[in-house]
Structure 1
Amino acid sequence: MKIFKEDFQITEEISLGKGKMVLFSGPCAIESYEVCARVAESVKETCERLDIQYIFKASFDKANRTSVNSYRSVGLDEGLSVLDRIRREFDLSVITDIHEPNQAKPVSDVAQALQIPAYLCRQTDLLVAAGETGKTVKIKRGQFMAPEDMQYAVNKVKSTGNNKVCLTERGASFGYHNLVVDMRALPTMRQYAPVIFDVTHSVQQPGGAGGTSGGQKEFAPYLARAAGAAGVDGFFIETHPDPKVALSDGPNMIPLHKMKDFLTMSKQAFELGQQSQNSVE
């Protein structure tokens, strides 16, 4: 199986696919500037110490929540204001989700990368609009998608002339409030683009808490180590100062005070995967 060997620059300082770990991390939804700032400051400090490339992530809208009563975040205008402030005050690149084609341009004016939610990974107009911004497009594999079919999502973005696209693995759904990660999906998708492993959404239990999503974050270390050793180009990890009171996805997030140890472990697994990759091919 031939692994995708091309690489690209997300920014002048951050490369993807060159063998150096990239981390996308932050709270699930924007709750306030204060929560985002606390996370950004702490994770940036840890990543600088561990020599990990870091991009801050938080969503201005969670349009796919289980219940109509679930918290959806602060909205486009306020959300972009918070992200822009995080970018400037902490000198960080940022990424956030888009759900509609008309969001691509305003988001790209602030963010250095655009994320396509898993449920929307087949939406041609959305993928093309994201590609046309010229920014990096990070596509999450739909829980319903075969890994090999993600090549067509990649091609939709590349049809715009934008080759800065990566894929994200977050498990497959078989119903019954559970996700299963098949590690074969990682090398399969790495034939088409660099791959990020979404640690915390892979332990999510969609709709599993009676109208909200549950999670089994106790399994996150095992999946992170397995994915890193199997070979990925980076990780997506959501974190919060106090997941018990987080307004979105708290049950599957890594507590902020545990991120240093979690990232140390994840980088060790990542480096093992890099070392073993050539011998496996």
Structure 2
Amino acid sequence: MTIEIRNIKVGNNNPFVLIAGPCVVESEELILSTAKRISEITQKLEIPFIFKSSFKKANRTNINSFSGIGDERAIRILKKVRDELGIPVLTDIHSESDIEKVINSVDVIQIPAFLCRQTDLLLAAGNSGLAVNIKKGQFLAPEDMKHAADKVASTGNSKILFTERGTTFGYHNLVVDMRSLIVMHEIGYPVVMDATHSVQLPSNSNVSGGQPKFIKPLARAAAAVGIDALFLEVHPEPSKALSDAASQLPLSELEELLVDVKKIDKVIKSASKRN
């Protein structure tokens, strides 16, 4: 299946799409400058680009962890990315009321992994008419994502994406089973690989840790299996990020990785066309 987000086609053997940006809206300067830089890179490499940033983080490990700069302010900044820079935008939602807040400011709403079985939320997301990216729960088998998609599709909205972001492997660890990319593809919707959340060490002490050295290998491996989009949380200075500091890719390393992924993606999809 191909879904269209603005002028971007996702799925059905089209070249992979990049979904990327800082984990959360920290400031207008950070968001606009990062969006501009990623846009420059992707235009140079001719890679379709959707900007990602959460307007708030509602699932932090610690009560004292940074959760956002205020909903209205953050959403206004995301709308600037979409309207002034002309870049499609994706953001997370955590409740039905969140959808009402963002519906006129973004192009894709994302269901966090922890919430992928919440029926009312999925139905409300479908009824928004926006594209819906459902992140596979860390606790869920890939074939079970069909049920989440069916809930959204029951509203008449088939603009659905699935995102792999690792599976719980004991306490405080995640592992990516690349077979899940194939299994979810077989359900019939475009599949996204989240190569940054997949390297997290969840809820390790007061905050989630991470192993960022595995971001690039996972991205390349997923491209070799076959993906429709690559999801990366990208920050100019990850060590200073206010959320997910241990699992974001440095902006300075993005272009080199995308060059590799594009080469792999082209080979895999050319072979698929021959078969």
Scaled by the length of structure 1, the TM-score of the pair is 0.94
AA in 1 matched with 2:192:
I
Cα 1:152/1:183, change in 2 over 3 Å: same
Cα offset, 1:106, TM superposition: 2.6
Q: Among residues 101, 106, 113, which one is paired with 1:106 in the alignment?
A: 101
Partner of residue 196 from structure 1, selected from 181, 192, 197: 192
- What is the rounded CA distance, in whole Å, between the counterparts of 1:258 and 1:62 in structure 2? 25
In 2, the alpha carbon distance for the partners of 1:205 and 1:62 equals 17
Matched, 1:206 2:199: no
2:173 is matched with 178
Q: 1:275, CA displacement in angstroms?
A: 2.6
Shift of 1:150: 0.2
- Opposite residue 193 of structure 2, the aligned amino acid is F
Which of 40, 57, 77 pairs up with 2:72?
77
Find the residue that maps to 1:227 and give its secondary structure: helix
CA deviations on 1:92-146 (whole Å, 9 max, x unpaired) are 1101000001211331211011000000000011111011011100000000000
Gap runs ≥5 in structure 1: 1-5
TM-score after normalising by structure 2 = 0.96
Q: Does structure 1 residue 159 correspond to structure 2 residue 146?
A: no
| Distance across 2 between alignment mates of 1:183 and 1:228 | 10
Aligned residues of 1:87 and 1:94 also touching (Cα < 8 A) = yes
Q: CA deviation at 1:269?
A: 2.2
Q: Which residue of 2 is the match for residue 3 of structure 1?
A: none
Contact 1:147 / 1:188 at 8 angstroms: preserved in 2? yes
Amino acid at match of 1:106: K
1:16 alignment partner in structure 2? 10
- Aligned partner letter, 2:15: K
**Unpaired stretches in structure 2, ≥5 consecutive residues:** none
Residue number among 144, 148, 158 corresponding to 2:143 in the alignment: 148
Contact between 1:232 and 1:273, CA under 8 Å: does it hold in 2? no
**1:76 offset after TM fit, Å?**
2.0
> Structure 2: how far apart are the matches of 1:139 and 1:239?
20
Superposed counterparts of 1:1-281, under 5 Å: 6-11=1-6, 13-18=7-12, 19-192=14-187, 193-208=189-204, 210-277=205-272
Taking only aligned residues, the RMSD between alpha carbons, in angstroms, comes to 1.2
**CA distance in 2 between partners of 1:177 and 1:75 (Å):** 29
CA distance, structure 2, for counterparts of residue 82 and residue 101 of structure 1: 21
SS in 2 for 1:35: helix
User: For residue 122 of structure 1, what is the amino acid of its counterpart?
Assistant: R
What SS class does the counterpart of residue 275 from structure 1 fall into?
A: helix
Q: Is the 8 A contact 1:177 1:207 kept in 2?
A: yes
Q: Which amino acid aligns with 2:269?
A: Q
Structure 1 residue 278: deviation in Å? 5.1
Quick one: distance in 2 between partners of 1:75 and 1:15?
32
Task: Check conservation: 1:24, 1:236, Cα contact below 8 A.
Answer: yes
The one-letter code matched in structure 2 to 1:128 is: L
CA distance in structure 1 between the aligned counterparts of 2:32 and 2:51, rounded to whole angstroms: 10
